Amino acid sequence: GVEDVCDSPAIWAFEAAELQELLCGAAAPQWTEKELKQHLKPRGGYNIASQPVVMLIEELLRMPLERRGQFLEFVTACPRLPHGGLAAAEIVVVPAHPKGSLPRAHTCTNELQLPAFNSVEELSERLAEAMDCARGMYE
């Protein structure tokens, strides 16, 4: 157990849930619009004001907590935010083609390849399809 990797008696000052969050990250990913704008890293021609990034932020804010974990797993291969939150996750958002295609992710670099969409609803549907179909398969 824990004593196998940490022999300090200070470890017993923590509850199990506190240790889990400290070592594994938050179980229910929380974020705000300000945090998303500050810590998502648009690249490759996208910036924080690019329409696809604006729609992604809107969708991420609307997502229920369990779906947020699935989004994180899709992009990073881990359903939890690391200690340090979104800033530590370093999620990069880059353009993908063609317009309206399924978003893709490279989990080794925490990169979301995000096509342009006509609406937030279309983005939501396509992102959900990509997340559901990619469950457990990482690139």
- Whether 139 has a pLDDT exceeding 60, the answer reads no
81, two tokens: 């935010």
Identify whether the C-beta of residue 130 lies closer than 8 Å to the C-beta of residue 103.
yes
Question: Is residue 20 predicted with pLDDT exceeding 80?
Answer: no
Percentage of residues of the chain with pLDDT beyond 70: 91
For residue 82, the model assigns a pLDDT of 87
- The tally of CA atoms less than 13 A away on the side-chain side of residue 15 is 3
Residues labelled as active-site residues: 108
DSSP summary character for residue 114: E
For residue 32, the number of C-alpha atoms closer than 13 Å in the C-beta half-sphere is 3
SS3 category, 16: helix
- Between residues 75 and 136, which one has the greater pLDDT? 75
Q: Rounded to whole angstroms, how far apart are CA atoms 106 and 112?
A: 7
